[in-house]
Amino acid sequence: MSGFVFSEKPIGIERGEGATLYADDGTEYLDFGASYAVAAVGHCHPRVVDAVKSQAEDLLYVQASYPVEARTTLYEKLATVSPPGLDNVWLCNSGTEANEAAMKFARNATGREKIVATRRGFHGRTLGALAMTWKDKYKKPFEPLAGGIEFVTYGDGEELAEAVDEETAAVFLEPIQGEGGIHPAPPSYLKRARSVTRKAGAALVFDEIQTGVGRTGTLWACDRADVAPDILTTAKGVASGLPLGATVCADWIADADPEHGSTFSGGPVVCAAANATLDVVVEEDLPTHAADVGSYLMESIEAADLPVRDVRGEGLMIGVEVKRGSNRLLRDLALEEGILALPAGRTVLRLLPPLIVEEDHADRMVEALEAVL
């Protein structure tokens, strides 16, 4: 018997270390997808592994009504590293759960229903978050979904301003659209979103599930625009692959006392992994490293005179728009060059390597693209 949701690739992964994955037949693969940005500090980082082992020996789980050191530390750590004014932390198990919580918190705090999201946006696959996700292929089989969602063109400040009114509970934005094709928002657009939501009394929510934890060259992608939201959601790289999401909120959101809960909120083992991951990201200044290596990689791809339409992104969140199907390119990179990457639509190659990759890894990526393109 086998699972029926994922179509498995013909590569069995046995172990990982740093930026490398090892197949069960001994083949080595340079990981330029990091399992959708999850392996932020590399596979099996020693500090993360040690933290998990130590916590597992003491306590595997106790529900969140009972304080435990690992969870309390993570509350404090996330509040410290989050954008200014976000001091209240809700822990869950995934990015889509974090966005579901953000929807509930915003509606509860404002007493309103309407949520503004963007075309090409992606916020998750559960019924609430899915309603804010643009692409029909994700939504159609599961309708009807949550109501009250209005979509606007990503990056169009005027259209956003027209959509946000006294009935709006929240605006949900990815500072860089990931699944939608790696499209960075102009800083002016994020500033406009901050202005119009504040004027309307609506919550500004930044979905940093893929962009956060240093990936785009700053700890949070919204930092480059110097814009702080009312709610920030994060997951993926925050716990190095253990299931953890977080919804971080301003006081006016938390003070409305939302009725919400989760059995597995903030398990000690996953919190220990997150604490160690954040320590590595901050102490080793991986955001700056991501900015430097990301710039080098983008410049190298552009200089290689490859048959590509565009190269865009920030830090180590890069989209390469190609002239043929991205799935075929991914197959060739994996089977012929030993490099794993990701798609972002039918024609965009998505590069999300661990933040620890070096320039020689970037060189290998460019050489592989030259070979398969």
Which residues does the chain have with pLDDT short of 50? 1
pLDDT at 265: 96
pLDDT at 10: 86
The answer to whether 208 is a known ligand-binding residue is yes
pLDDT at 359: 98
The answer to whether 125 is a known ligand-binding residue is yes
pLDDT digits (tens, 9 = 90+) for 30-45: 999 999 999 999 999 9
CATH C-level class of 46-283:
alpha beta
The answer to whether 96 is a known ligand-binding residue is yes
Phi-psi region for residue 202, left (φ > 0), alpha (ψ -120 to 50) or beta?
beta
Torsion sign over Cα 303, 358, 233, 38? positive
The answer to whether 95 is a known ligand-binding residue is yes
Indicate the domain borders of the chain: 13-44+285-372, 46-283
CATH C-level class of 13-44+285-372:
alpha beta
pLDDT at 166: 97
The answer to whether 210 is a known ligand-binding residue is yes
CA angle 37, 42, 44 (to 5 degrees): 120
pLDDT at 2: 60
pTM reported for the whole predicted model: 0.96
The answer to whether 153 is a known ligand-binding residue is no
The answer to whether 15 is a known ligand-binding residue is no
Residue 271: CB partners within 8 Å, gap ≥ 6? 55, 68, 70, 71, 73, 74, 91, 239, 244
